[in-house]
Homo-oligomer: A and B are copies of this chain.
């Protein structure tokens, strides 16, 4: 039985800094998997005219272009979690299959809207047959381990069962891997989520993209209000997306820092396993030490990591560590060296 904490997330720097009596700026947050690099924005937000109702045509056009789809194949929501909640609210299904562990908002939304839930353990039974007509949820690359799955085979098995397919690609921009968008034309019950929060380092900006065919999108759009996105957020995101080198630079530097981190983490005996990750975070399995103990040990170094015990199929031997700037990763390794025996 999961605790009250069952849907809690990483990244609450304010609460952490308050708890340990430090300033938020002093905290090294490895608990939330937000890009540590930030896009450069040219617009002066202080002088933006916000008195008129916003129009979203430009934003839709730029986002559609980014994902090589048409503007009528996307609906923008107030962030990924809003898109998930709206989707579960609208879709006329009663059963869902979540490949787990997965981003916890899926389970929460499924419970909220009265779905019967099957969980499939991705690590052990990824090829397990799913129920006919189920809504299939797959996060790719996955959280909290960062594995990218080639979904071709699974996709066909879902088709056979007439499933509605929902693939969350919110971390795909951190990889050079292919998107499932190419399947949109061949299957009419496919939905793809792109949160953008992570890659553009903007969890405070509430824009998330849901992609499907124009018919499905129209059905969803018809139930949505006229205006819901902030003009500030719209302008910020338009600027960020135009900054094309930003993604390739992110992939390059994150890869370097991840390599550095893995190289050092491998030297510690208390780390039983480092999961292979294509994304900007690492799932670690611990031994002779649990998530809570490790979290506590890192408090005096002002470092936050993510206790993964509330993820399905994981327990208190698992933590997630985000890849941030080199200096933060060095401080993290140094803290571990102070607290644990280094093997090599």
Contacts and interface: CB of A to CB of B under 8 A. Distances in A.
A123 interface: no
A10 to B, nearest CB: 9
Interface of A: 9, 11-14, 29, 32, 34-35, 38, 41, 44-46, 48-55, 78-79, 81-82, 84-85, 89, 105, 109, 112-113, 201-206, 222-233, 236
A222 B89 contact: no
Given A32-B52, A44-B46, A50-B204, A233 B236 contact: no
B222 A112 contact: yes
Contacts of A226: 9, 81, 105
Given A82-B225, A233-B232, A204 B34 contact: no
Pick from A48, A51, A105, A109 the residue with the most CB of B within 10 Å: A51
Contacts of A228: 78-79, 81-82, 206
Nearest to A51: B201
B105 A9 contact: no
Contacts of A49: 204
A229 B203 contact: no
Q: Which 9 A-B pairs have the closest CB atoms?
A: A204-B231, A232-B232, A50-B204, A230-B230, A81-B225, A45-B45, A78-B228, A53-B203, A85-B225
A283 B113 CA distance: 43
Contacts of A222: 112
Contacts of A201: 50-51
B81 A227 contact: yes
Contacts of A225: 78-79, 81-82, 84-85, 105, 109
A231 B197 CA distance: 13
A51 B31 CA distance: 13
A232 B45 contact: yes
A54 B29 CA distance: 15
Nearest to A85: B225
B52 A203 contact: yes
Contacts of A48: 204
Given A78-B228, A89-B223, A205-B230, 15 more contacts: A35-B51, A41-B46, A48-B204, A50-B204, A51-B201, A53-B204, A54-B203, A78-B230, A81-B226, A82-B227, A84-B225, A85-B225, A112-B223, A204-B230, A232-B232
A14 B205 CA distance: 24
Nearest to A7: B226
A14 B51 contact: no
Nearest to A234: B204
Pick from A55, A113, A222 the residue with the most CB of B within 10 Å: A55
Nearest to A14: B55
Given A112-B223, A222-B112, A224-B85, A229 B78 contact: yes
B51 A204 contact: yes
A151 to B, nearest CB: 26
18 contacts: A11-B52, A35-B51, A46-B46, A48-B204, A50-B201, A50-B204, A53-B204, A78-B78, A78-B225, A78-B230, A79-B228, A81-B228, A105-B225, A105-B226, A203-B227, A206-B230, A230-B232, A233-B233
A231 B230 CA distance: 10
